[in-house]
Amino acid sequence: MLIDRQNMPRWLIITIDVVIVFFAVILAYLIRFNFEIPDYELKPLPWILLIMLSVRLISFLIGKTHFGILRYTSTQDIVRLIIVMIIGSVIFVSVDIVTYFFFGNIFFIPFSIIIIEFLLSFFGAAAVRLIAKVTYLELSGPSGRRSKVIIFGAGEAGILTKRVLERDAGSKLKVLAFLDDDPRKAGKKLEGTEIIPTGNLDGLLAKNHVEQVIISVQNLKQSRKQEIIESCIRYDVKVMNVPPIVQWINGELSFNQIKKINIEDLLGREVIKLEEKSLHRELNGKTVLITGASGSIGSELFRQLARFKPGKLLLLDQSETPLFHLELECLEKFPDLNYEIIVADICNEMRMRKVFNTFNPEIIYHAAAYKHVPMMENNPTEAIHTNVEGTRILADLAVEFGLKKFIMISTDKAVKPTNVMGASKRIAEIYVQSLSNGKTSFITTRFGNVLGSNGSVIPLFRQQIENGGPVTITHPEITRYFMTIPEACQLVLEAGAMGKGGEIYIFDMGDSVKIVDLARKMIKLSGLELGKDIQIKYIGLRPGEKLYEELLNDKENTLPTHHPQIMIARVEEYERKYVEKVINELIALYLKQDNFKIVKRMKEILPEFKSKNSVYEQLDAAEDVENT
C-alpha cells in the first residue's frame, strides 16, 4: 500500500490539496445558495475558481505544507496548514476590499464563500493527513499487530513521548494507556489515549501483554520510580526512561534517546541536596587538587567541583590514558575551566613536593588508592605502598605547605577489616586523623560499594549478561551496601564543607542489598529469563571477602549533622607519636617485600583485623594460640 510502504510524493500531496480546494469552492457556493446557484454568480465563478486555486497553490508551495510525511503528521504540521490557509483567506478578503473600492462597491468573492471554503479546505486537507496517519498505524507491524506500551506520566513529556513513538517508523509500538499519579486526570483521554491511575498498573500488566513501560516524568521521586520498576519486574515487562530535557538533541526528543532503565536507577536514593552557598564559599577561587582524578570517583568529583568555579583544578593521576580522556572532556564540557593535567605517582615524594611547590593547592580531595580486595590480598606490599605511604606523603605535605583542608576517601571495608585492602585504608584513616590538631583540617569519608565504579559488581554483571552469561556470584548470601557515583561525590563535597578536622563521615546507605537479588533484577531488566536465557553461577568467596559489610565498628557510634543522610562516626583515637612510630615501621617493611611480615604488622596495629578466606588466616590462628 502506498501509505504504508513508501512516502507519498510531494507533487501528489499538493495535487490532492488543490483538488480539495476546488471541491471546497464548489461546495461552498452550493451551500451558500442552497444548492441553486443563480446565473449572476455562475458567470464569475470560473475566474473566482482560478484566483482561489492559484492563491492556495502558491501559499501551499511557500508554506511547504506538502513537505511533511503524511504517516508522521504532527500537531506542528496541522498548525502550519491552518496558518497557510488563514493567510490565503486574508488575501481573498484583500481582493474583495480592492474590488469594493475600485469596481463599484461589489465584493468579487462573497465573504460567506471565503469562510465556508476555508473551513471545508482546512478540514479536508487535515482529514487526508490524519486518515493516512491512522491507516499507517493500523497496518504497521507484523500482521498489523504492534507491541503494547504504557507511558507513565500524562504531562508534556508524556505527550511528546507518545508522538515520538507514533512518528518513528521502526518503533512498531502502540500506546495502550497513560498512567499518572494525579487523580484529577484519571478517566480522561490524552490524544485519544486513556489516562489511568497508577494504582491500576499491576492490573494492566496482568491483563495485557505489555511489552514496555516508559517513564516520562522528569522529576520523579526515586522511591516512586523503584515501585514502578519493581511492578514491571514482577511481570517481566521492560522499563524504559525518557532522558532529562537538557539531554534532548536540539531541544527535541528522539526515539533512540529513550533508553532502558539501569540497575543504578533501582538502587539509587533521592538526590542529596547540597549546601550550595557554603560550597561556593569553600571552593570558589581556590586551587583544588584531586588525586586519582581519572578514576570513577575522581572524575565525578572534577565534574561536580567545576560548577563551583574553583580558581584552578589540579587533576592528578598516574594513569596516562584515562587522564588523556579526562582532558578531552575538560575541553569539550568546561572550556572556561582553569585546570592542569598532572601525571604523577602519589608515592613519589619528590614529584609530589614539586607539584605542591609549583601549584600551591589549598584543598585536596584524595581519591587515589588501590581498591580491589582480591588484588590487594595477593599484593599487600602495594596496598601499603599506595594506600598508606602515598596517603602519608600527601598528608605530610599538606601540613608542611599549610593547606586548608585534606579530604580523604575511605571505604566501609576499613570497618572490622577482613582483608588487606580494608586494613590498609583503616591505617591510612588513623594516620590522617592523628594530624588533625594543626592548621590543616583532615576529614575522612567512608563509602559503601559505588555503583558503576571501576571494580563495582555492576559493570561485571552487565558485561556477563551481554556475553550470554553465566553471571558469577561468590556466595548466595553475600550482601553489600550501594550508592551511586554522584551520591558518593556529593558526600565528599558536603563533608569537605562542613568538616572542622578529625571527623570520619559516613552515609545513611539504607538497607544492604543481596547480590543474588541484584543479579536477578539486572537479568530481568535486560529482558532475559533466568534459567532459560542465562544462568547464575556461584564461584565461592574471593580472598579477603566477607559476607556482610559494616560502616561502623562495635565500639563506634554516630553523631548527627545538619544533613539527615550524613553522620559523624565516633572512632577510637590514637596518640600522634604512636601512630607515627607504627606507620614508619610498617612502611619500612615494604623494602623487604615479605607479605606475611607486612600483614602480621598490620594485624598488630589493628587487633580487629581478622582475615577471611585468605592465606593470612594462619596468622590469626597463631595469635590465638599465643594468647591462650
H or E element at residue 328: helix 320-333
Residue 416's nearest CA partner among 268, 293, 549, 238 is 549
DSSP bridge pairs for 447: 411
CA dihedral 608, 611, 616, 619 (to 10 degrees): 40
Rounded to a whole number, what is the largest CA-CA distance in the chain?
125
Dihedral class, residue 401 (left if φ above 0, else alpha if ψ from -120 to 50, else beta): alpha
Which grid cell is 416?
572490622
* Amino acid at position 590, single letter: Y
DSSP state of 249: B
Please work out, in degrees rounded to the nearest 5, the angle formed at the alpha carbon of residue 88 by the alpha carbons of 87 and 94: 90
CB atoms within 10 A of CB 141: 14
577 as an active site residue: the answer is no
DSSP state of 530: B
Place of cell 592523628: 434
Question: Backbone phi, then psi, for 4, in 5-degree steps?
Answer: -85, -40
From 133, 162, 238, 413, active-site residue: 413
How far is residue 492's CA from residue 444's CA, in Å, rounded to a whole number? Answer: 9
Q: Following DSSP, what letter does each residue of 167-179 receive, concatenated?
A: H-TT--EEEEEEE
DSSP state of 387: I
How far is residue 365's CA from residue 314's CA, in Å, rounded to a whole number? Answer: 10
Where in the sequence numbering do the catalytic residues fall? 413
